[in-house]
Amino acid sequence: MSIIKTKNLTFEYIRRDEEGNVEGITTAVDAVSLRIRQGDFIAILGHNGSGKSTLAKHMNAILQPTEGTIWVDGMDTRQEEYVWEIRQRAGMVFQNPDNQIIGQVVEEDVGFGPENMGVPTQEIWQRVEESLRAVGMYQYRKHSPNKLSGGQKQRVSIAGVLAMHPKCIVLDEPTAMLDPSGRKEVIRAVRGLNQVEGVTVILITHYMEEIVHADQVFVMDQGKIAMEGTPREIFSQVERLKELRLDVPQVTLLAYELQQRGLKLPDGILTTQELVEALEHYF
What minimum distance in Å lies between the beta carbon of 222 and ligand ADP?
A: 9
Binding mask 25-64 for Mg ion (x = CB under 5 A): ---------------------------xx-----------
Confirm if 52 and 219 have CB atoms less than 8 A apart: no
Q: Say whether residue 23 binds ligand ADP (CB under 6 A).
A: no
Query: Is residue 16 within a helix (H) or strand (E), and if so which, with residue range?
Result: strand 2-16
Considering only CA atoms, which of 149, 145, 155, 162 is closest in space to residue 111? 162
Nearest-angstrom CA–CA distance, 225 and 18: 34
The site that binds Mg ion (CB under 5 A) totals a number of residues, namely 2
* Residue 10: CB minimum distance to ligand ADP, A: 12
DSSP 154-217: HHHHHHHHHTT--SEEEEESTTTTS-HHHHHHHHHHHHHHHHTT--EEEEE-S-GGGGTT-SEE
| 154 is a site residue for ligand ADP (CB under 6 A) | no
Which amino acid, 277?
E
**Residues of span 25-64 touching ligand ADP by CB under 6 A:** 26, 28, 46, 48-54
Which of the listed partners (ligand ADP, Mg ion, none) does 99 bind, with a CB threshold of 5 to 8 Å by partner kind?
none
Least Å distance between CB 19 and ligand ADP? Answer: 18
Q: Which residues bind ligand ADP (CB under 6 A)?
A: 13, 26, 28, 46, 48-54
Q: Which residues bind Mg ion (CB under 5 A)?
A: 52-53
